[in-house]
Structure 1
Amino acid sequence: MSVLDFVFYAFAAVVVIQVIIYFVLFGKFAFLKPKKASPIKFPVSVIVCAKNEAENLAKFLPSVINQNYPKFEIILINDASSDNTLNVMEDFKNSNSNIRIVNVKNIEAFWGNKKYALTLGIKASSYNHLLFTDADCKPLSKFWIKDMCSNFNDNTELVLGYGAYNKVKNSFLNKIIRFETLVTAINYFSFAKGGNPYMGVGRNLAYTKELFFKANGFIEHIKIPSGDDDLFVNQVATKHNTAICVSQNSFTESIPKTNFKAWIKQKRRHISTAKHYKPNHKIALSLLYLLQIMFWGFGISLIASTFKWPFVVGLILVRFISQFIIFGRSAKKLNEEDLIMLLPVLEIFLIVAQLVIFIKNLSSKPRYWK
C-alpha cells in the first residue's frame, strides 16, 4: 500500500466518523424540538460581577432591571474596580429597591480572583435560584429570567443558556468570534442533551445556591484564575441535574472584542481552563479537534495530488453537506444563520487560531480574569 493509499483510507475513515458524530451527537441539539416550559413563581437572585465596567453597567443594567418577572433581586458585585463602577451601582440602587451591592476589596490570598468575588455575591443573595450574567451583557428580551428559570424543577439544579455576541457588519473578526461561540454552544448543548454536560458560559447560566454549597463552591479550582463558569459546570453537572434553554427570549448578547490581540488574549484564558476538565471530556473534545485537522490535512493533500480525486471530492461533499445540515439547523435555533455560508473559511481559520493559542499557552500561562 502506497502512502497516498493510506492517506486516502484514513481520510475516508475520518469523513465517516465525522458524519456519524454530526448526526448522532450534534443531531441531538440540531433536531431538538423545543418544549414549552411550565410557568414558575419562585424568587430569583440575578448576579452580575463587574470589574471596571461603569460604562457597560450604565448601558446594560436597565435591561436586567426591567425584566418581566414577579419577584427577583439583583446582586451587583463590584470586584475591586478602579473606575466609577461602584458609583454607577449606587446610583441604580438608589432608584431600585431590589438591588443589593457587594463591594469586594482585594485581599492577598485571592488577589484579582473573580471566584472570590462571586462567592461573596452568592453568599449575599437571598434566594436559592441564581441566574448569572456579565456586566457587558444584555438580555435580549424582558422574559430572560422567566425562560431561563422555567427549566428548573425538582431534579434540575443547573440550566445552560446561550450568550451571543453583537453582530458587526463587514467585520471578519466579528464573524470569527461569533462562529467560535456558535461551535462552542453546539458542543455543550449537544453533550448536555446526550447526558454528558461538560461546560456552560457565565454570560448566561443558572444554578441553585444549594448546588453551589453542596459542591463547596469554587474551592476545587479556586487557584485557577478562570473557570468560574465552565469548570464549575464541569465539576457539578450530571445528566440528571442539567437542562438547556435555547428559547430566543432567553438569550443574552455581549460586546465582542474589536481587535485580534484582545480576542486572542480572551481565548487564551478560556482555552487554558480546558486542561482541567474531567478526563473523558478532554478526550472527547481533543478527538473532535483532531478529526478536523485530519480532515483538512488529508483532504488538501489528496486534492493537491489528484489521487482518486472523484472519490475524494465525493467524500468532501458528503462531509460538507452533513455539516451544513447540522450546523445550519443549530445556527437557526441560535439566530446565527448568516455564518453558515462562510462555514469552511471560518472553520479553517478557527482551527489555526486554536492551534496557535494552544502552543502559546504552553510557553506562558494567562493569569488574569480581566
Structure 2
Amino acid sequence: MLDLLFYIFIGVVAIQLVYYSLVFGRFSFSHSKETNPKKIPVSVIVCAKNEAENVSKFIPLLLNQKYPEFEIVLIDDSSSDNTLDIFEEFEKNNSNIKLVKVKNNEAFWGNKKFALTLGIKAAKHEYLVFTDADCYPETENWLQEMSSHFTMKKTIVLGYGAYEKIPNSFINKLIRFETLLTATQYFGWAKIGKPYMGVGRNLAYKREEFFRVNGFIDHMKIRSGDDDLFINQASNNSNTTICFSKNSFTYSKPKTSFKEWFTQKRRHISTATNYKFFDRFQLSVFYLSQISFLILALLLFAFQYNWIAVGSICVGRYLFSWISLGYAASKLKESDVMYWYPFLELVLIFTQLNIFFTNLFSKPVHWK
C-alpha cells in the first residue's frame, strides 16, 4: 500500500514539474519582447460605482499619460455617492474625457457588464484599454506600453494588475503571492497559445473583438467575469499577446483583512466554473496536484516510508518551483513574497479549499 502511495506521489510531483517548467516556465524564463511605440488612438475605459475617493485621486494619473491621442471614457454605474459629481467636473475641465451615465435598468440592475457595454459603444476609438476605478498606472508610459503590443493580428493584450505593498503585513504578502501565481498561470498559457483569462485592472482589446462574440451576452446573467469570462470566450492563439514590461503595470489598493480578501476570492473562483472545459480541467489538475502533493508527503513521512527518497523529492520539487516562480516574481516586481514561498503556498492551498466548500453551500456577493 505504501509503495502504491509512493508511486502516486512521484506521479503527482511529475505533474507539478510539467506545470512549473513547460507551462509557467514559458513565461517565467521568457524575455520581454521589444516593441515599437504606436500612435494609434485609444480609449481608456473606467467603470465606477461609489468610488468617489479613488477616482478623484486616480483619474489625474490617467490624464497625465504620455500618449499622443487618447480619450478617457468614465462610466458612472448608478453611484449613490458623489462619484458622478466628480466625473462631471473632470469632463467639464478636460476635452478628452467622455462621461457615460448609467441608470438602473430593471433587466440588468447592478450589472457591471451592462454599464461597460454602454461605455464600449460610446468610445470614440477602436482600440480600448481597461482599468478599474480603484487602480492607477505605475508610470506615465502605461498607455504607450500596452498599446505598443497591438498589431494587425494581435488585438487582445493581457497586462499585469498588481497590488500595493503593505510593509509587515502577512495578508498583503498572501494577496500578492496569489496574484503572482495567477498571472504566471495565465501568462504562461497565453505564451503556449491557450489564453484563458485576463484581469480588468489592466486589459486591452480592439472593439471588433467585443462585437465578434456579441459582447457579454452569453454570460450577462453572471455578475462577475467582464474580464476573465470575456477573454475566455474571445481570446485564442492568433489574436492574443501579453504585456509585462515594468512600465505597463497598474496597481490597486489590496484588501487589508483576510475576511475581505476571502470574500473577493470567492467571487473570482465562482466565475472560473464557467470557463471552457479545457481551462477548467487544467486549473483543476494543477490545484489537485498541489493538495495531493501535501497530503501524500505527510502520509509517507508519518508512516516513515523511505524518508531519504521522499525528502529528496520534496526538496527537489520546492527548489524547482521556487526557481520558476522566482523568475516570474522578478519580472513582476514581486520578489519579496518568494522569501515566504513555502508557507504562503501552504496557506493559499487550504484557503482555496475552504473557498471551494464555502461556495458549494452559498453564493458569493458580486458587483456593488
TM-score range for the pair, normalised by the shorter chain length = over 0.9
**1:249 corresponds to which residue?**
247
Q: Deviations over 1:64-119 (max 9, x none)?
A: 11000000000000001000100111121222110011010111100100000000
Look up the equivalent residue of 2:22 and give its one-letter code.
V
**2:10 corresponds to which residue?**
12
Alignment of structure 1 residues 260-279 onto 2, 5 Å: 260-279=258-277
Q: Distance in 1 between matches of 2:121 and 2:361?
A: 37
1:45 partnered with 2:40: no
TM-score by length of 1: 0.98
**2:338 corresponds to which residue?**
340
**1:354 corresponds to which residue?**
352
Q: Distance in 1 between matches of 2:256 and 2:154?
A: 37
Q: Distance in 1 between matches of 2:189 and 2:5?
A: 30
Alignment of structure 1 residues 59-208 onto 2, 5 Å: 59-208=57-206
1:112/1:368 contact within 8 Å kept: no
Deviation at residue 366 of structure 1 after TM alignment = 2.1
Deviation at residue 367 of structure 1 after TM alignment = 4.2
Q: Deviations over 1:224-252 (max 9, x none)?
A: 00000000000010000000000010000
Q: Distance in 1 between matches of 2:137 and 2:122?
A: 23
Where 1:47 maps in the other structure, the secondary structure is strand
Q: Distance in 2 between matches of 1:129 and 1:303?
A: 55
1:214 partnered with 2:212: yes
Q: Which runs of 5+ in 1 are unaligned?
A: none
Look up the equivalent residue of 2:297 and give its one-letter code.
G
**2:20 corresponds to which residue?**
22
1:156/1:240 contact within 8 Å kept: yes
Aligned sequence identity (%): 56
Q: Deviations over 1:291-335 (max 9, x none)?
A: 001111111121222210000110011101110110000000000
Deviation at residue 365 of structure 1 after TM alignment = 1.3
**1:32 corresponds to which residue?**
30
Q: Distance in 2 between matches of 1:352 and 1:365?
A: 19
Q: Distance in 2 between matches of 1:326 and 1:143?
A: 28
Q: Distance in 2 between matches of 1:351 and 1:80?
A: 37
Q: Which moved more, 1:360-369 or 1:293-302?
A: 360-369
Q: Distance in 2 between matches of 1:16 and 1:238?
A: 28
1:162/1:252 contact within 8 Å kept: yes
Q: Which moved more, 1:200-209 or 1:255-264?
A: 255-264
Where 2:251 maps in the other structure, the secondary structure is strand
**2:55 corresponds to which residue?**
57
**1:225 corresponds to which residue?**
223
Q: Which runs of 5+ in 2 are unaligned?
A: none
Look up the equivalent residue of 1:190 and give its one-letter code.
G
Deviation at residue 17 of structure 1 after TM alignment = 2.1
Q: Which moved more, 1:256-265 or 1:65-74?
A: 256-265
Deviation at residue 33 of structure 1 after TM alignment = 1.3
Where 1:276 maps in the other structure, the secondary structure is coil
Q: Deviations over 1:227-280 (max 9, x none)?
A: 000000000100000000000100000010111111111111111111100000
Look up the equivalent residue of 2:362 and give its one-letter code.
S
Q: Distance in 1 between matches of 2:106 and 2:258?
A: 32
Q: Distance in 2 between matches of 1:137 and 1:304?
A: 47
Q: Distance in 2 between matches of 1:327 and 1:264?
A: 23
What stretches of structure 1 move > 6 A for 4+ residues in a row?
A: none
Q: Deviations over 1:156-181 (max 9, x none)?
A: 11000000000001111111111110
1:162/1:204 contact within 8 Å kept: yes
Deviation at residue 20 of structure 1 after TM alignment = 2.4
Where 1:203 maps in the other structure, the secondary structure is coil
Equivalenced residue count is 368
1:269/1:369 contact within 8 Å kept: no
Where 2:233 maps in the other structure, the secondary structure is helix
**2:292 corresponds to which residue?**
294
Deviation at residue 13 of structure 1 after TM alignment = 1.5
Deviation at residue 362 of structure 1 after TM alignment = 1.0
**1:312 corresponds to which residue?**
310
Q: Distance in 2 between matches of 1:265 and 1:316?
A: 32
